[in-house]
Amino acid sequence: MVTWLGARSYKMATLKYTYLETNSDNKKIYAKIDTDGNSYSSCSEDNEEFKEWKENGGTVEGEPE
């Protein structure tokens, strides 16, 4: 089994996240969009990788006001 993970690490600069929904815990859920346009993971607003991405200036698409 060979997998290419190079574009699926937080060190890659061109990831983006899109808002999906708010769950029953009132946590926002996001899809992480890879450079190929596909989503290989989704996360809550508590996810460390997501929070680090936001702290580094990332802007979520579709975030409700």
Partner 1 sequence: MGAITRAFANNLIERAGPVRPNSKPIIINGDMAVAQRSTSVTGHNAVSYTTVDRFKTVCEVGTYTVTQESLTSGAAYLAGFKNALRLDCTTAEATAGSAGDQTTVEQRIEGFNLQAFKKGTASAEKYTLAFWVKSNKTGSNLQVNLRDSDNSRQIGGTYDISVADTWEHKVINFAADTTGAFNDDNGLSLTIEWFLDGGSNYSGGAVDTTWGANDNTDRNVTNFDLAGSTDNDWAITGVQLEVGEYSSTTLPPFQFESFEENRDRCYRYYYRLTPTTGFRYAGFGQVDNDDNVIVGITWFKTHMRVAPSALEQSGTASHYRVREATTTTCDAVPTFTNADTWYAATSFKKSGITSSNGYAQGELLKVGIDGGYMAWSAEL
Q: How far is the CB of 8 from partner 1 (least distance, A)?
A: 7
Q: How far apart, in whole angstroms, are the C-alpha atoms of residue 54 and residue 2?
A: 31
Binding partner 1 by CB under 8 A: which of 40, 61, 62, 63? 40
46 burial (CB, 10 Å; 0-12 / 13-18 / 19+) is exposed
CA 20 vs. chain centroid, Å, equals: 10
Q: Binding to partner 1 (CB under 8 A): which residues in 1-30?
A: 1-6, 8-12, 20, 23-25, 27, 29
Binding partner 1 by CB under 8 A: which of 35, 38, 62, 63? 38
Angle (CA) 9 13 18, round 5°: 80
Residues within the interface to partner 1 (CB under 8 A): 1-6, 8-12, 20, 23-25, 27, 29, 31-32, 34, 38-44, 46-50
